[in-house]
Structure 1
Amino acid sequence: MDQEIARRGLVLLGCGKMGSAMLEGWLARGLPAGSVWVRDPHPSDWLQAQGVHLNEALPADPAIVLVAVKPQMMAGALPDLAALGNGATLFLSVAAGVTIAQYEAMLGGATPVIRAMPNTPAAVGQGITAIIGNANATAAHLEQAEALLSAVGQVVRLEAEAQMDAVTGLSGSGPAYVFHLIECLAAAGEAEGLAPDLALQLARATVAGAGALAMASGTDPAELRRNVTSPNGTTQAGLEVLMDAERGLPPLVRATVAAATRRSEELARG
């Protein structure tokens, strides 16, 4: 873990599921607990046992403030840290829907700010996070952000903040779409006569295994699909329904991601 972070300290504002997952990853990678200050009004038993500075006075010049509170709590939580704005402290936010301009308004226009959009598989170290920084965020800041966020999965850099809404619609909300796919597969199995527990076990393992294969092989998903589709076989029969251009999965997923993207845009506008 970055020696500057260990020396100057890291402030974690909010330590719910996402904050806890990140903190666990940082500590596992060697960040000293004594270099972490956590602000959380309802600390879990796990957090209290980690040896971090919990709800104590903050260091004067921390390397990073990582903002992990819910957007609706931002107005009450961030003003206490305004004194750290316009300086050398990087503000890294994983709060959905809060724009860089909003942070600059609260902290000062000279504040280095990086906005990030992780997703819930970060809780098991399998997330993916997209990041974008403002003009004050240097290459070193982006590298620090990547180092921190890679503790819970992959990190990608965006070219413009405007892309964040589409990222939210795809990967930010995407795990919920996949969970619903598991529900639907299990329900379909039940409808064909399988016991509920067996149908759910098959659905979970199928989705998890297919995802793992797609990641491990590096092969184009379309090629993987073709590889398991025998002419006139069972998979082809199912795919003819699933891939229907009017009523199948392609238009449904397109509309789903578009709806989530539009909602992200609305939330960003307030």
Structure 2
Amino acid sequence: MLSELNSKIPASLTGKQRQAWKRYASAVLVASTCLSGSLAANQGLLPDCASDCNAVNTNGTELPEQRLPNAILDLERLTLQRFIERHNRSIPQHERQRLISAIITESELLRLPAHFRIGRQPLNKLALLTAFIRVESTFTRTARSSSDARGYMQLKPATVAWLDKKMGYQHGSHRLFESQMNLRKGARYINHLAELMPDLRRTVLAYNAGPGSVKRGRWKESYWLRVRTAYMQFLTLQRTITAQNRAASLNQVATNP
């Protein structure tokens, strides 16, 4: 992986800058440890290191397999913050931070088949959950539709109560205006739909129209297009921030060898 990163050194760099790039590549390698299925491995921002989960960090201690390195967690938080601000500037800071934490935590509940993809890359769960929230409520916690769909993911209490009973989950239909509860129920509902539908597109359509309607060929294609667009916009922002951070780090180590 390190050799792959080093092979991408731009030819225009000076000798000092090339050495700086190599040092930064080493730091990226450490940060990418144990990211199987996560932001970096999924989107090619960092090397895929699913087979290297026993690697150690710089002080020789083993990195917990299920814990995102701080550098990646910071990147996720920054991307979420900017994406949310872009679409809803009125959300209070404390509420935005609560939402960001909930998205990072609850997106890990998504259990989707490996062939569910947007484009060629494996699905980014963080981006997908964020895209749903963007389309459903534009990041408005108190959103409530005329059909009584509530919260960030616009869930109906009756649907949540039914799924809770079916799956044996803790009852939460009365708490849909709570950030974490709303996202948790939304992620679990997506998982349920994924078991019924053959691909991601129809899973997304079923979230909006209902699985019965989709099976009968009744849906709004525009809903899928909006979710897909939001998903791609999130990833584009993520890549932009990554490139900016990489350039800043490269400049810093180049000027302080």
TM-score (norm 2): 0.34
Q: Which has the larger radius of gyration?
A: 1
Which structure dedicates a bigger proportion of its chain to helix? 2
Structure number with the bigger relative contact order (C-alpha 8 A, sep ≥ 6) is 2
